[in-house]
Amino acid sequence: MPWQISIFSSDSEHEPAGDKCRVSQLSRNEGDPDNLQENVSLNIPKTQGENAIQILAKLKLLNRKLAPQTTGDVLHVPLSRAPQPEEQNQLDRALGKQNLSKEKFASKSRSVGSLEEVLAQQLPSSIVPLVSKSFDVIGDIAIIELSPTTEPFEKDIAEALMKVHKNVKTVYSKAGAITDNQRLRPLHHVLGAARTETIHKELGCRFKIDISKAFFSPRLSSEHNRVAEQVRPGECVVDMFAGVGSFSILIARRLEDVQVNAIDANLEAVKLIRENAKLNRVQDRVKVWPGDARTVIKDNLLGIASRVIMNHPSQARGFLEPACETLRRDGGILHYYTFADGLDSESKARKELTNAIDSSVWTVENPIATHKVRGVAPMKWQIAVDAKLEPA
Ligand SMILES: C[S@@+](CC[C@H](N)C(=O)[O-])C[C@H]1O[C@@H](n2cnc3c(N)ncnc32)[C@H](O)[C@@H]1O
């Protein structure tokens, strides 16, 4: 797999804005717009990336001289030319929703070589292909994945990364799976200052993040954007599992006439939501509630919400009752999240929600929108289900 496909955009404090920012993860040309080339781009969710590249290669539509790039969860693939109508039909059939635009790309010979080149200088050649191609950048902190084979070379890998991606000042590696209810990942410090706090920019907001104390994933930025775009003036939103406030603050930044209630049981997350609300000057319309979402809703937020966000995929199923209780009596929208696997993952997620709602005093209005937010394991995804609920 080429390096670019699995690298997530970093929107760090230290990065330049615009196109330069977008390609800076991918190329040693960072900060040098002269080395970027405008080209037709096919834009597609990253989950479809490998599929798209295979089909484009088959249709001889792939521009192999330019490096694909990412913006949030969208992959931009450079094309050798615009597709003919029949080719476009084939793409539509195989890939579903995608669009074309003009984007700036770095030349592959300069960009793809760069990280691999630096790694090749520092690691035995047999190890280079084994280095994981996927890492997250949060502010100026990178989180890499190591295997038992690549772990002995962790410092070299981190050093190569920092050489190529100048905005990265600190590198941690994943030191285990996320298992606890606060969704915190055990981390191991590899290189750079041993600090866990940073400022991350996402969709025009600034977030103070502490990667050791509260959940945050840069892989959710498209989802934050997708939900925030649906909120209309005058709405009351309850964000039941708010983390550092990614949905809540973005919604409040976009709309003045909105009331957002951000709940989290992790008191460190709550502290960060409060700081982030101030950082983005939206503290007047983001009310922060520490504690268990069930109790907070029962005691304070009954029958008020036009929209409820339930982004805690492993647990959301158990919180549908309070989610319905916080909805206005005439109904509203639920953004429900779960994990599901297999070819019918979206239909499984939809059924999980409708089966639970069917036994309540609500009905779900059809059609229910579902989509894959991100892959979490082979053939397993985080799925978003958007459902409009009405009194039965
Ligand atoms: C997946 S993370 C949040 C993601 C966040 N909405 C985002 O998009 O970045 C789930 C969050 O739910 C919080 N949480 C876990 N159990 C909770 C509960 N019973 N009530 C409220 N929050 C809870 C965790 O502390 C964690 O911050």
Model pLDDT, residue 278: 98
Contacts of 126 (CB under 8 A, 6+ apart): none
Percent pLDDT > 90 in the chain is: 69
**To the nearest 5 percent, what fractions of the chain are helix, strand and coil?**
35, 30, 35
Q: What is the pTM of this model?
A: 0.75
Q: Render 259-302 in DSSP notation, one character per residue.
A: EEEEEES-HHHHHHHHHHHHHTT-TTTEEEEES-HHHHHHHH-T
Protein residue whose Cα sits closest to atom 3 of ligand 1: 243
Atom 6 (ligand 1) nearest CA: 242
CA of 312 to the centre of ligand 1 (A): 6
Q: Please list the residues that pair with 338 across neighbouring strands.
A: 383
Ligand 1 pocket, Cβ-based, cut-off 6 angstroms: 181-183, 214-216, 220, 241-243, 246-247, 263-266, 269, 292-293, 311-312
Ligand 1 centroid–CA 311 distance in Å is: 7
Atom of ligand 1 at shortest distance to CA of 181? 15
Cα 319 to averaged position of ligand 1 atoms, centre (Å): 12
The answer to whether residue 174 scores a pLDDT higher than 60 is yes
The Å distance, Cα 217 to ligand 1 centre, comes to 12
DSSP states along 191-230 = EE----EEEEEETTEEEEEETTTS---GGGHHHHHHHHHH
> In the CATH scheme, what is the code of domain 32-107?
3.30.70.2580
Domain range 217-391, CATH class: alpha beta
Residue 30 confidence (pLDDT): 38
Closest ligand 1 atom to residue 311 Cα is: 6
Tell me how far the alpha carbon of residue 182 lies from the centroid of ligand 1, in angstroms: 6
Whether the per-residue pLDDT at 150 is higher than 50: the answer is: yes
- pLDDT tens for 282-312 read 999 999 999 999 999 999 999 999 999 999 9
**What is the C-alpha separation between 309 and 355, in angstroms, rounded?**
19
Confirm if 357 and 316 have CB atoms less than 8 A apart. no
**Which residue's alpha carbon is at the smallest distance from atom 17 of ligand 1?**
265
Q: Please tell me the distance between residue 53's alpha carbon and the centre of ligand 1 in angstroms.
A: 35
Whether the pLDDT of residue 14 is over 70: the answer is: no
Instruction: Write the pLDDT tens digit of every residue in 48-99.
Output: 888 888 889 889 999 988 888 887 788 899 999 999 999 998 998 888 878 8
Q: What local confidence, expressed as pLDDT, does residue 34 receive?
A: 56
DSSP states of 142-164 as a string? EEE---TTTGGGHHHHHHHHHHH
The residue-averaged pLDDT of 164-184 equals 91
Q: Is the pLDDT of residue 235 over 80?
A: yes
Annotated domain spans of the chain: 32-107, 217-391
Q: Which of 184, 220, 264 to mutate to test the pocket of ligand 1 (most atoms within 8 A of CB)?
A: 264
Q: What is the pLDDT of residues 188-219, one digit of tens each?
A: 999 999 999 999 999 999 999 999 999 999 99
The answer on pLDDT for 111 being more than 80 is: no
- Between 73-77, 139-143, 323-327, the lowest mean confidence (pLDDT) is in 73-77
* 148, pLDDT greater than 90: yes
Q: How far is the CA of 219 from the centre of ligand 1 (A)?
A: 16
